[in-house]
């Protein structure tokens, strides 16, 4: 019997089937949950209610995946790795419905059994039923209490807030007693934040509530493509924190005349904002991106800018620059990072990342910041930005690179220039945004002026 025939016979519904297919892309193929969900929904033609159900089912399951795996292990008596990956994803989806959504127990269990039979095989239907019924015997708080009975304070914090221990440890080191609120904020899915392309659109056109700190943005629930300015490329989607760091670099004065550089421009949010601000200053932005597909995204995001000083997109390696030293007046180095500051938008990242990832990333980050400093002309301004608060990716990178620099580099009062309250880090020469404090992604920024 073909899978689709079993699906009709068992009655597995389209929304849960779609959520299962997306989750398989995330867990088996390394897809990003938000992008895979968006693409699947665009092709599926579900109504708004079912689309919302799929979105919550996928994002919520990914966000609490580590916690759910421990619950499934306790309920099944098996380690998650010993279960078929397809079955494990069915059980994760069922667990999320039972413990974190307003889905009646019988509906969640029956739907899980139907999904397992349709996509894994009839022989696992009984196991699926038994495991999900054991999961349903406790609510989430009771499961958390059970899981944390023998854990130390840090382990209990990590479990309560649904993070790996190593991430919770870094938050505690940075925030102390404030860490729990910060970790909890990573579990709140934010409304889309829109941004104008300066000179091409006004904030009123975004049809949302103006952002708290950025003068370029607005928050608006729903599909951003419903906004005409977004469809036309005169506005886009960009977190407020990302808007703020781009605007802070643009606003630094004095700075020498000359073009601006976005060193790692993909996927293009900061580049699109910087391009408009550069044009308003009579300058041109050069947006450089190593990966060809991301360079195309950058170019698409810049498509509405035309005429004099229109931005230029390059596909180039920032560590092996295609430009001469001292070519740019302002340089944005928003470097690849763990993304620990954007966990609320990338729910799968907390379980996908490992501490060992830092070892590879920090070397690249050092090379990119070094390249950015060399690209700036005397008196030029450089911004080092990551979407992570982790000390190894932020403060340590800056101090290491500046210590090794042959050219004098002045650290600017970044927190003052950013203009956001309660964002100062390291005495103010750097700044850290936080979801729980500022309602933004957790962006780190440090600004420098390159000497002669």
Smallest CA-to-CA distance from 246 within 125, 383, 46 is with 383
Burial class from Cβ neighbours inside 10 Å (0-12, 13-18, 19+) for residue 360 reads exposed
What whole-number distance in Å separates Cα of residue 141 and Cα of residue 118?
A: 31
What whole-number distance in Å separates Cα of residue 211 and Cα of residue 248?
A: 16
| Number of helices followed by number of strands (H, E) in the chain | 21, 13
Alpha carbon distance, N-terminus to C-terminus of the chain = 75
With beta carbons less than 8 A apart as the criterion, state whether 199 and 272 touch. Answer: no
Helix (H) or strand (E) holding 377: strand 376-386
Under DSSP, the state recorded for 137 is T
Q: Which two tokens stand for residue 386?
A: 């990551």
Q: Is 387 a catalytic residue?
A: yes
- CA pseudo-torsion sign 396, 398, 401, 404: negative
Q: What share of the chain is helix, strand, coil (3-state, %, to 5)?
A: 55, 15, 30
User: What φ, ψ does residue 12 adopt, rounded to 5°?
Assistant: -60, 130
Q: Please write down the HEC assignment for all residues of 413-433.
A: CHHHHHCCCCCEEHHHCEEEC
Among the listed residues 62, 264, 337, 387, the single catalytic one is: 387
**395-to-144, 405, 408, 442, 445 alpha-carbon distances in Å:** 34, 16, 18, 14, 10
Residues noted as catalytic: 387
């Amino acid at each position: 019997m073909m899978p689709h025939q079993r699906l009709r016979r068992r009655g597995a519904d389209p929304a849960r089937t779609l959520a299962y297919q997306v989750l398989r892309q995330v867990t088996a193929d390394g897809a990003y949950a938000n992008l895979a969900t968006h693409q699947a929904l665009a092709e599926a033609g579900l109504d708004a209610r079912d689309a919302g159900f799929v979105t919550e089912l996928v994002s919520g399951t990914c966000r609490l995946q580590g916690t759910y795996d421990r619950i499934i292990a306790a309920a099944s008596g098996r380690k998650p790795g010993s279960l078929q990956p397809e079955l494990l994803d069915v059980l994760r989806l069922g667990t999320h419905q039972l413990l974190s959504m307003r889905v009646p127990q019988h509906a969640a269990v029956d739907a899980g059994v139907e999904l397992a039979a349709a996509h894994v095989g009839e022989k696992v239907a009984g196991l699926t039923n038994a495991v999900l019924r054991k999961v349903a015997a406790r609510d989430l708080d009771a499961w958390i209490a059970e899981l944390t009975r023998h854990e130390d304070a840090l382990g209990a914090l990590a479990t309560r807030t649904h993070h790996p221990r190593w991430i919770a440890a870094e938050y505690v080191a940075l925030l102390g007693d404030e860490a729990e609120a910060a970790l909890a904020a990573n579990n709140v899915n934010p409304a889309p934040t829109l941004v104008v392309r300066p000179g091409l659109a006004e904030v009123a056109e975004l049809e949302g509530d103006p952002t708290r700190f950025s003068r370029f943005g607005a928050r608006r629930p729903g599909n951003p493509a419903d906004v005409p300015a977004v469809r036309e490329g005169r506005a886009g989607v960009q977190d407020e924190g990302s808007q703020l760091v781009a605007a802070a670099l643009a606003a630094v004065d004095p700075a020498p005349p000359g073009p601006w550089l976005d060193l790692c421009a993909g996927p293009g949010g900061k580049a699109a904002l910087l391009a408009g601000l550069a044009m308003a200053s009579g300058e041109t932005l050069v947006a450089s991106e190593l990966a060809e597909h991301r360079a195309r995204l950058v170019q698409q995001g810049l498509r509405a800018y035309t005429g004099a000083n229109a931005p230029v997109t390059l596909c180039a390696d920032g560590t092996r620059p295609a430009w001469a030293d001292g070519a740019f007046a302002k340089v944005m180095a928003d470097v690849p990072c763990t993304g620990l500051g954007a966990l609320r938008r990338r729910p799968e990242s907390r379980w996908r990342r490992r501490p060992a990832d830092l070892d590879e990333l920090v070397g690249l980050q050092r090379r990119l910041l070094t390249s950015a400093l060399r690209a700036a002309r005397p008196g030029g301004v450089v911004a080092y930005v990551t979407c992570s608060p982790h000390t190894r990716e932020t403060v340590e990178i800056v101090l290491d690179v500046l210590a090794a620099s042959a050219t004098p580099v002045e650290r600017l009062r970044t927190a003052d220039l950013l203009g956001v309250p309660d964002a100062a880090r390291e005495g103010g020469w750097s700044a850290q945004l936080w979801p729980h404090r500022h309602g933004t992604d957790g962006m780190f920024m440090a600004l420098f002026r390159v000497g002669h």
